[in-house]
Amino acid sequence: MNIDQLTEVAYAMVQPGKGILAADESTATIQKRFDAISVENTEDNRRDYREFMFRTQPAMRDHISGVILFDETIRQKAKDGTPLVEVIKQSGAIPGIKVDAGARPLPGCPGETITEGLDRLPRRMQEYYELGARFAKWRAVIDIADGIPTWTAVKANCHALARYAAICQEADIVPIVEPEVLMDGDHDIKRCADVTEWVLKTLYQELYEMRVVLEGTVLKPNMVVPGKKSPKQASVEEVAERTIQVLERCVPVAVPGIAYLSGGQSDEDATAHLDAMNKIGGFPWHMTFSYGRALQAAPQKAWSGKPENVEAGQAAFNHRARMNGLASTGEWSKDLEKQGA
Ligand code: 13P
């Protein structure tokens, strides 16, 4: 294990002004995104879409530190034969890879899931390293509802995350550790704060027990928000303050950075919340974005699968990347948001 290299990559992933593009949708998940814009889910369409995103400038050069890829994409070539991994590297971003096999029902725990994919992971990691990946992602899913999460699900998912992280580091790949507390329910923000704190406390204990070197990791958490169906929504300031409070209680200072998932927030909410946290500042980590939907929804809509719309799709991606880049240093504003839209 090369700790210096892991640490260097982890810091590069969360450098100020930049964040991560989560473009690792599985074939089933991109199907949902393509259905929304009436695009057929073929290998060529997936390639064309991702190629135009990865070739977007100045977004890629100025605001994207790394790109999380799906297994198919890390092996794909652009139309001109250049591997997509090379296209990403040419703009100065680091290629990464999603390695989990998705969340499946957790036996004995109705309504809860465990993320699978540990079997043969060490061998797969070696191959991904050779294909150019320098970081990886594993997403654990924790749902909030009556009686859940259970301790069984929290423990099992954090244990799997720690096992994955240790395997990554053994292969000189930085683990993005992603315990996502979903925002699907009708719970209030306090409940999200309590569950997120419980999960993060458990996670860092498991990482310690699994001998993971925190300096060579990046945390990808949810923000502390009320459930989407909660009658009581929260202000931008409350989300920022509660999220910082929970992280300060749970995340060791040795962790280089925090790259949030957007989790179903609107594009502007995801940007405004990140910006508000960085305006408050005073915490020991770099805080940035690792957004899937909040970076891609606008470009997908503008593109809608038509070659003549690639420019419009790229303009939309440039705008979202710039807005989130500004939010990563607390320099975003509603005026800037409107100007580029
Ligand atoms: P969202 O930003 O759409 O939540 O996706 C980020 C991600 O990588 C989820 O695993």
pLDDT tens digits, one per residue of 112-136: 999 999 999 999 999 999 999 999 9
Nearest residue (CA) to ligand 1, atom 8:
22
For ligand 1, is residue 293 a contact (CB within 6 Å)? yes
Give 180 Cα–ligand 1 centroid separation in angstroms: 9
Among the options 51, 178, 206, 337, which is catalytic?
A: 178
Q: Mean of the pLDDT values across residues 64-69?
A: 98
For ligand 1, is residue 19 a contact (CB within 6 Å)? no
Q: What is the DSSP string of 206-271?
A: HHHHTT--GGG-EE-PPP----TT-SS---HHHHHHHHHHHHHHHS-TT--EEEE--TT--HHHHH
Nearest residue (CA) to ligand 1, atom 9:
261
Residue numbers of the domain that contains 36: 3-340
User: H or E stretch including 284?
Assistant: none
Q: Is 279 a catalytic residue?
A: no
Q: Residues with Cβ < 8 Å from 46, sequence gap 6 or more? A: 27, 30, 72, 73
Q: Is 178 a catalytic residue?
A: yes
Contact 71, 105 (CB under 8 A): no
Nearest residue (CA) to ligand 1, atom 4:
263
For ligand 1, is residue 261 a contact (CB within 6 Å)? yes
Q: 278-303 b/e with 16+ CB inside 10 Å = b? A: beeeeeebbbbbbbbbbbbbbbbebb
Q: 52-90 b/e with 16+ CB inside 10 Å = b? A: bbbbbeebbeebbbbbbbbbebbebebeeeebbbebbbe
Beta-carbon count within 10 A of 27 CB: 12
* Model-wide pTM > 0.85: yes
Q: How many domains is the chain built from?
A: 1
Residue 22 β-bridge partners: 68
Looking at every residue in the chain, the average pLDDT score rounds to 97
pLDDT tens readout for residues 69-92:
999 999 999 999 999 999 999 999
Q: Give me the CATH number covering residue 68.
A: 3.20.20.70
Q: Mean of the pLDDT values across residues 54-73?
A: 98
Q: Mean of the pLDDT values across residues 148-157?
A: 98
